[in-house]
C-alpha cells in the first residue's frame, strides 16, 4: 500500500513538537521504515524541506494567495504529491505561471489543512521542525540498523541523501559502503575550522601542509574522458558558465579525476575582491571584465581510484603530477617560523590568509573537522541572514540592517545586526535577493528563509543579553555576500563563543 502523505505529515508534526533529538530521530526512522524503497527519497526530501524537484517556481506569494477549502480526510500519497510537484516544475514558457497556479490550486484541493500547511512550508522554505540533514542521517542509520558514519559517508559521496537512504533501507550496509566517488557527480566538500594564528593551528599537528587561502569561489572539477563538469560548493553545475576553465582542465593529466580548487578574479597586480569575482562569475563566468583563474589544492579521485582515504601528503604528490603550476602555493613543514614567513608572503600578494592542514589527514567529504584550519588576520565569520530592515535616508527603498544568525545544532540563533560595509551595488543586490526569500513582515523588518550567507568581519565578540545567542558582535561589517555557500556552511555559535573577549 502506498504511503499516505498524512503519515508523513503526522511524523513531521511529531518531530516539530519534540525538543529532544532522540525523539526526532525515532519519529523519522519510523516513517522511513514504513516507506517502500521508491518512496524513501521522496520522504527524505519532504522531511528536510528539500523536495526532489528543487525550486519549482512556487514561492511564498503563490502559496499565500491560495484560498482552497481543505478536505476532511486525506487520500493523497507521497508519490502522488511528488508526481504533482514534478509536473509543476516542468511547466515553462508562455502561460506557465497561470498553469502553475491552477495546478497548485488543484493539488491544494486534494489535501487536509495540516497537509496544506506542511506542503506550503516545504515549498516556501518555511519548514521549522529540526529535521535537518544531520538528524535525518541519524534516522536513516537507525532505520537501517547501521552506523551513522557509514550513512554519512555514503551520502557525502553520492551527493544525495535521499538516494543513500533508499540504498541503506533496501540494500543494507554492504550496499552503502559500496557507494564510491563517481566523476561527474558532485561531492560534498571538506570544510575547515578556524584558528587565531598559524602557531595555534600547527600546535595540533606533527607536520603541516600550509597553503594560500584565496578569497574566491570554491570549485569542484570533474573529468571523465571528454566530459568535464564544474560544481560549486553547493553542488550547482556551472560548467556552461566557465568555458575558459573547461579548456584549462582539458590540459590536466590523468583521467578520470575529481579535484578540489578555487576560482579567483585576477587583477593587474593583486587578486580581485570576492565581490568582483562573484560578479564576473554571475554575469557570465570567465567572459566578464575580470579574468577568472583556477587553482587546485586537493584531489579526491584520480586515474580511476578514490583518493579520499589517502593521507594529504600522498594526495598532494599525485596532484602535482596532474595539475603542475595550477597547484595552489603550498609548503609542508613542522617549523612555525617557516610557516609564518610563508603566510607573510601570501598576505603580501593580496590573498586573505592561509590554510593549515594535518599532513596525515584524510579527505573528510562534507565534514568540518579539526584537520583543516583557516587562519586570517581579520576575524571573519560566515553567518546567515534571518531578517533585514528597510533603510531610511539615502537607503530608503533598500533592505539595509541585517539580522545575523549562527548555527546552533539544527537551528539558527541571532547574534547581532549590522548595516555597515555595504556599497550601493551590494544593497541593491541584497534587497532583491532577500525579497525572494521573504516569509513574513513585522513592521520595517522582512523575515526571510535562513539561506543567504554573508561574510562578516568583526573586531571581537562579547557577552550580551540582547540577542538569543547570548553574544554580541563588536563592530560587525559585511565583507561579502556568499551565495556560493549554503546555510549549512555557516559558522557555529560555539565558534563565536570561542572568540569571547
Positions marked catalytic: 213
Of how many residues is the chain composed? 501
**Please, is 401 exposed, middle or buried when counting C-beta atoms within 10 Å of its C-beta (0-12, 13-18, 19+)?**
middle
Rounded to 5 degrees, what are φ and ψ at 150? -70, -40
Strand partners, 257: 223, 302
Q: For strand 471-474 and strand 477-481, is the pairing parallel, antiparallel, or unpaired?
A: unpaired
Rg (alpha carbons) of the chain, rounded to whole number: 23
Q: For strand 191-194 and strand 368-375, is the pairing parallel, antiparallel, or unpaired?
A: parallel
Most distant CA pair in the chain, distance: 72
H/E stretch holding 223: strand 217-224
Question: Residue 435: CB partners within 8 Å, gap ≥ 6?
Answer: 399, 446
Cβ–Cβ under 8 Å, residues 333 and 210: yes
What SS3 class is residue 264? strand
What SS3 class is residue 246? helix
CB atoms within 10 A of CB 303: 13
Instruction: Find where cell 583518493 sits.
Output: 307
DSSP class per residue in 338-370: HHHHHHHHHHHTT--EEEEEETT----TT-EEE
Instruction: Find where cell 561527474 sits.
Output: 184
Rounded distance between C-alpha atoms, residue 223 and residue 230, angstroms: 9
Rounded distance between C-alpha atoms, residue 244 and residue 293, angstroms: 9
Rounded distance between C-alpha atoms, residue 357 and residue 437, angstroms: 36
Cβ–Cβ under 8 Å, residues 485 and 382: yes
Measured on CA atoms in the order 19, 24, 27, 28, is the torsion positive or negative? positive
* C-alpha torsion angle, residues 238, 241, 246, 249 (rounded to 10): -50
Amino acid at each position: 500500500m502506498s504511503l499516505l502523505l498524512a503519515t508523513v505529515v503526522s511524523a513531521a508534526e511529531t518531530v516539530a513538537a519534540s525538543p529532544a533529538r532522540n525523539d526526532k530521530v525515532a519519529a523519522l526512522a519510523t516513517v522511513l521504515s514504513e516507506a517502500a524503497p521508491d518512496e524513501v527519497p521522496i520522504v527524505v526530501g519532504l522531511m528536510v524541506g528539500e523536495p526532489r524537484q528543487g525550486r519549482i517556481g512556487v514561492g511564498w506569494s503563490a502559496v499565500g494567495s491560495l484560498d482552497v477549502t481543505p478536505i476532511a480526510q486525506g487520500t493523497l500519497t507521497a508519490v502522488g504529491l511528488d508526481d504533482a510537484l514534478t509536473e509543476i516544475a516542468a511547466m515553462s514558457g508562455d502561460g506557465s505561471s497561470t498553469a502553475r497556479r491552477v495546478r497548485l490550486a488543484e493539488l491544494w484541493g486534494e489535501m487536509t489543512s495540516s497537509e496544506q500547511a506542511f506542503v506550503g512550508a516545504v515549498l516556501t522554505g518555511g519548514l521549522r521542525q529540526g529535521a535537518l540533514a544531520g538528524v535525518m542521517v541519524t534516522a536513516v542509520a537507525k532505520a537501517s540498523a547501521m552506523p551513522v558514519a557509514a550513512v554519512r559517508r555514503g551520502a557525502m559521496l553520492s551527493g544525495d541523501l535521499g538516494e543513500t537512504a533508499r540504498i541503506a533501507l533496501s540494500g543494507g550496509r554492504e550496499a552503502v559502503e559500496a557507494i564510491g566517488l563517481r566523476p561527474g557527480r558532485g561531492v560534498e566538500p571538506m570544510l575547515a575550522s578556524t584558528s587565531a594564528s598559524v602557531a595555534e593551528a600547527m600546535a595540533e599537528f606533527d607536520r603541516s601542509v600550509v597553503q594560500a587561502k584565496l578569497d574566491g569561489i570554491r570549485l569542484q572539477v570533474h573529468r571523465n574522458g571528454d566530459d568535464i563538469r564544474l560544481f560549486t560548493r553547493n553542488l550547482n553545475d556551472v560548467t556552461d558558465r566557465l568555458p575558459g576553465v573547461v579548456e584549462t582542465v582539458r590540459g590536466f593529466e590523468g583521467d578520470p579525476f575529481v579535484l578540489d580548487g578555487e576560482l579567483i578574479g585576477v587583477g593587474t597586480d593583486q587578486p580581485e575582491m570576492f565581490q568582483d569575482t562573484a560578479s564576473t562569475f554571475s554575469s557570465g563566468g570567465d567572459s566578464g571584465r575580470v579574468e577568472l583563474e583556477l587553482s587546485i589544492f586537493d584531489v579526491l579521485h584520480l586515474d580511476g581510484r578514490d583518493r579520499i582515504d589517502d593521507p594529504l601528503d600522498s594526495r598532494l604528490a599525485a596532484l602535482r603530477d596532474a595539475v603542475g603550476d595550477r597547484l595552489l602555493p603550498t609548503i609542508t613543514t613542522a617549523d612555525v617560523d617557516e610557516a609564518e614567513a610563508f603566510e607573510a608572503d601570501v598576505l603580501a600578494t593580496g590573498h586573505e590568509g592561509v590554510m593549515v592542514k594535518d599532513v596525515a589527514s584524510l579527505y573528510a567529504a562534507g565534514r568540518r573537522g579539526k584537520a583543516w584550519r583557516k587562519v586570517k588576520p581579520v576575524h571573519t565569520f560566515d553567518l546567515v541572514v534571518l531578517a533585514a530592515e528597510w533603510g531610511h535616508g539615502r537607503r530608503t527603498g533598500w533592505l539595509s540592517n541585517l539580522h545575523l544568525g549562527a548555527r546552533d545544532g539544527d537551528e539558527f540563533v541571532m547574534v547581532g545586526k549590522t548595516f555597515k560595509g555595504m556599497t550601493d551595488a551590494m544593497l541593491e543586490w541584497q534587497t532583491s535577493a532577500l525579497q525572494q526569500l521573504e516569509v513574513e513582515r513585522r513592521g520595517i523588518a522582512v523575515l526571510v528563509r535562513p539561506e543567504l550567507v554573508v561574510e562578516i568581519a568583526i573586531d571581537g565578540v562579547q557577552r550580551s543579553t540582547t540577542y538569543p545567542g547570548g553574544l554580541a558582535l563588536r563592530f560587525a561589517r559585511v565583507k561579502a555576500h556568499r551565495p556560493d555557500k549554503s546555510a549549512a556552511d555557516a559558522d557555529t555559535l560555539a565558534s563565536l563563543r570561542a572568540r569571547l573577549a
